Structures are given as C-alpha cells and as structure tokens.
C-alpha cells in the first residue's frame, strides 16, 4: 500500500463515514493538531503499508460523536483521548481488549485491567503567563488557582471551556477534587469575574497569552514549553494548589473492520519511533526510560512531576462529568 497518512479537519465529513479498506484504518483522536501531524509523519515511516485516516475533534465533541455512533461505530481506533472520557460506559463498552506490544511495561495505573485501554502519554495543566503584559499591568505572577481571584487580573485571564475541552475539564475537576465541592465551587465563582473568555481549545489560552492578547492563559504545560522555546515572553507556572493532569488513552474498537491493522497501529503507539516523537514534545510520558526533553529543561518543568501533580481520581471525574459541567454553566453563567 502506498505510504500515506491523511489528516482530516475536525469539522469536516471524512473517511470515517465510510468503511475502511484493507490496509487502511480510521482513527479518532483528541490530540492537538500539531501533535497529530508530527506523529503521523513518523507513523508513515514506520508503517508504510497502512493508511491512517484521522478525524481530530476536541475532547467533548469526540466523546459526543462516539456515543452518537454507538449503534454504528465508524472508527477502528481511539487514540490520545482523555481517560476521564474514555471511562464513560457509553464509550468504554465499545472498546475491545487488546494487549498492545509493550503495554506490560506501563505501570498498572496507566493501563486497564481488562486491556481495553492504555495511556502512554498525558498532559499537565499549567498557566502561560505573559510577563511583559503583567509588568505593564503592575501585577504579580500568579502561582496558584487561588491567586487568580486577584482583581488585578480582571479581564486578563483566559481558560478552556470544560464542556468542550478536556484541558478545561481536568482543571475544574482538579480544583473540585482538591478543594472539595463547597470551597471548589466558590473558587471557580470567585475567579470568573477575571475571565475574559472560555475557549473551546485547551491550547488556545496559551497561544493568546503568547500573542499578548491576555496576560494569563490557563492551558497546558507542553504548549507553554513550546512557546518558551520559540522565544515568546511567557513563563510557565504549574499551579501550586491543584495541578491537574489527564492521561491520553488509546484503545481498539471492538467493531473494527480491520482489526489487524488497527492492532498494528496501537503497537506503534508504544514503539521506539512513537516514543522518540513523544519525547520531542510531551511533558508527561508514562513509558519507562523516556529522556527529559530540552524544552522541559528550558521551561523549568519539575523533574519529579509526581511530586507536584494532584492525584487525580479519573473514575470519579468521569462519573461526575455531566453533573459538573451542568453546575459549571450555572455557576459562571456563560
């Protein structure tokens, strides 16, 4: 088969709407577009006989699509999808067990006991702080979520909408799990007057802070690391109170029309080639022995992430997701 990888726009009708041919698979993902492009380039080299058609959607939109298609699934593989969402019974029940090559090396917390998912990567919530804009405002660099209540930041903070963004949801979930319901919701409401907007993308708040549109973007650490490496006047801050994170899970759809090629792709996501691609851009890689990236060093990412990350309860996050999003909309009124 010709060496080929297809990257499809998130809102476009795609090859996912048609049965895949032999040597061709349809992959659904919530990974960021730049990540998908970089990983598929390496996958094309490592798997020249498999055509990979990818549909990329935001976490919330992808979850809704998977549930809507439950009666007639279109994907062969789910790739890089928030574990919190993957654990939704309406999605989890569509997955078939598969022991991908190398999955046994992952710590038990990064793979399913029934073999329906494994998570080689994840993402960490972080603030992207434009130090030049803050200096103009005469405001201090925030170090925690609690700091974002400061009136000095009014109209200067941007964060993702948790109803559409997995990043936004992990941030809210970490606050609620860490502070408890009463104090957590109070903090969310106290921060809201300073929020200029809630975006649909987890990376966009950091991009906006990089461009100087706003002083603070609650986003992802790897996006902050990229921005710092590219020379933007930003500082990465891992919140000292509730540093949430999410795992990016992969799984085989039990309805896959091309399970052999789907399994080959899943094996690739734990291969040397994939690990090298992850190491160049990811902040959280669960595969043992992956070296720390130069970007992480430059941005000051803590060497021992486990010591600073809030111990997320992903099952609880998944179970409470609909209720939390409903209450969030009521709390912030947007």
Q: How confident is the model at residue 16, as a pLDDT? A: 41
Place of tokens 């994907």: 75
| Residues 65, 161, 316: CA angle, nearest 5 degrees | 70
Place of tokens 């006047």: 233
Q: What are phi and psi of 45, to 5 degrees?
A: -75, -40
- Write out the two tokens for 24: 């061709």
**At CB < 8 A and 24+ separation, what contacts does 36-42 make?**
36/7, 36/80, 37/7, 38/277, 38/280, 38/281, 39/274, 39/277, 40/5, 40/7, 41/5, 42/273, 42/274, 42/276, 42/277
Give the confidence band of 11 by pLDDT, cuts at 50, 70, 90: very low
Give mean pLDDT, residues 272-300: 87
Residue ranges per domain, the chain? 5-122+247-290, 123-244+298-332
pLDDT exceeds 50 at position 12: no
Give pLDDT tens digits for 128-180.
Answer: 999 999 999 999 999 999 999 999 999 999 999 998 888 999 999 999 999 99
- Domain spanning 123-244+298-332: which CATH class is it, in words? alpha beta
Q: Is the fold of 5-122+247-290 the same as that of 123-244+298-332?
A: yes
Q: How confident is the model at residue 334, as a pLDDT? A: 67
Whose CA is closest to 26, among 76, 72, 88, 67? 76
* SS3 category, 236: strand
Q: What is the CATH number of domain 5-122+247-290?
A: 3.40.190.10
Q: How confident is the model at residue 9, as a pLDDT? A: 35
As a 3-state breakdown, the chain gives helix, strand, coil percent values, each rounded to 5, of: 45, 20, 35
Give the confidence band of 1 by pLDDT, cuts at 50, 70, 90: very low
């Amino acid at each position: 088969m010709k060496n080929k990888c297809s990257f499809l726009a998130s809102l476009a009708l795609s090859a996912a709407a048609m049965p895949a041919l032999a040597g061709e698979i349809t992959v659904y993902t919530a990974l960021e577009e730049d990540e998908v492009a970089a990983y598929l380039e390496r996958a094309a080299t490592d798997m020249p006989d498999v055509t990979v058609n990818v549909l990329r959607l935001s976490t919330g939109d992808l979850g809704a699509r998977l549930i809507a298609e439950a009666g007639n699934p279109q994907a062969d593989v789910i790739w890089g999808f928030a574990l919190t969402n993957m654990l939704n019974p309406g999605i989890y029940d569509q997955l078939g067990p598969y022991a991908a090559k190398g999955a046994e090396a992952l710590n038990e917390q990064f793979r399913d006991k029934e073999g329906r998912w494994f998570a080689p990567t994840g993402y960490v919530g972080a603030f992207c702080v434009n130090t030049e804009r803050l200096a103009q405002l005469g405001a201090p660099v925030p170090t925690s979520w609690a700091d974002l209540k400061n009136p000095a930041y009014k109209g200067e903070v941007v964060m993702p909408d948790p109803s559409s963004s997995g990043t936004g949801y992990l941030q809210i979930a970490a606050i609620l799990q860490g502070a408890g319901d009463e104090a957590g919701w109070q903090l969310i409401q106290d921060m809201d007057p300073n929020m200029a907007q809630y975006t649909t993308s987890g990376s966009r708040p950091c991009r906006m802070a990089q461009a100087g549109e706003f002083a603070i973007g609650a986003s992802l650490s790897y996006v902050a690391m990229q921005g710092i490496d590219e020379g933007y006047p930003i500082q990465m801050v891992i919140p000292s109170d509730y540093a949430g994170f999410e795992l990016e899970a992969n799984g085989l759809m039990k309805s896959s029309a091309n399970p052999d090629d789907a399994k080959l792709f899943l094996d690739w996501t734990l291969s040397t080639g994939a690990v090298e691609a992850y190491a160049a851009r990811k902040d959280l890689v669960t595969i043992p022995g992956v070296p720390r990236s130069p970007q992480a060093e430059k941005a000051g990412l803590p060497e021992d992430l486990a010591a600073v990350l809030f111990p997320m309860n992903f099952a609880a996050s998944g179970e409470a997701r609909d209720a939390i999003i409903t209450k969030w909309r009521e709390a912030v009124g947007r």
